[in-house]
Amino acid sequence: MAILKFRVYWEEEDAIYRDILVKHTQHFSDFHQAILTAFTFDQKHDATFFRSNELWQRGREISKEVYLKEYKVPPLMMEETTVGSEIIDTNQHFVYVYDFAKSWTFLIELIQVIKNADSDMELSYPVIARTEGVGPMQYGTKGLLGEKFADIEEKYDLAETGEGYGVEGEEDAHASDHGGEDDDDSDEDDSDDADDDNNDDNQESSSSEFFDGDAY
């Protein structure tokens, strides 16, 4: 038996990741639960893995269940598929998608294979071995804090004007005194925004290409 060490990145920011250790005999359903635990997500929504490659293209799915959508090839089931059976090379990649409505996406890379003799078999796998960066908030700040959020709002009442802060009327008057400069800045900002939109369109076009079938 071997222990597989995966690095799971949040797609939006690769500085945010979790290292997870999984036995090669454990199933993708175990890996799925470990990822959600590592990023403090609940387990209420649909999910699927994709076989992938270094370009993060999406191949055959390893799914929580068969969903009502068109598949190029039938998906494998998480409950039935061991993680080790899907390791094709030494830096195997997967893409994991959770909650299809919000499409939380994580990029997974195999970074180490630990032989049985070198592993700690007293641990209860899967194990979260490393945490880097503050993960995304599944439901936003208020959803995560729950009832404590009301106490925070009361303690730090942003509606009250504190010492050293101007009131709304003073800010408006100050803005009107410098109207000409603001207009110039606005024109430059609009131009920059247009360039950013064009760049975003190009990136979305290149990242939307998928490969087909069962190659990965």
pLDDT tens digit sequence for 173-189: 545 455 545 555 545 55
Domain shared by 119 and 188, yes or no: no
DSSP assignment of 102-129 equals TTEEEEEEEEEEEEGGGS-TTS-SSEEE
Is the bond preceding residue 126 a cis peptide, omega within 30 degrees? yes
**CA angle centred on 129, ends 127 and 131, rounded to 5°:** 120
pLDDT at position 157 is 53
Angle at 200 between CA 198 and CA 201, to 5 degrees: 65
**What does the pLDDT look like over 91-115, one tens digit per residue?**
999 999 999 999 999 999 999 999 8
* CA–CA dist 30, 22 (Å, integer): 8
| In a shared domain, residues 123 and 32 | yes
Q: What is the pLDDT of residue 211?
A: 43
Considering the domain architecture, whether residues 128 and 178 belong to the same structural domain is answered as no
pTM of the model: 0.66
Q: Is residue 107 part of a domain?
A: yes
| 188, 127: one domain | no
Give the range of the structural domain holding residue 188, as residue numbers without chain letter: 168-207
Side-chain-side CA neighbours of residue 95 (13 Å): 19
pLDDT of residue 166: 46
Domain identity same for 134 and 174: no
Q: Which residues of the chain have pLDDT under 70?
A: 117, 141-216
Q: What's the mean pLDDT when you consider all of the chain?
A: 78
Q: Report how far apart, in Å, the C-alpha atoms of 7 and of each of 74, 78, 108 are.
A: 27, 19, 6
Residues 18 and 124 in one domain: yes
In angstroms, the CA 47 to CA 133 distance is: 23
Residues near 169 by beta carbon (within 8 Å), at least 6 away in sequence: none
Query: What's the pLDDT at 60?
Result: 96
Q: Are residues 102 and 202 in the same domain?
A: no
Q: Flag whether 90 is in a domain.
A: yes
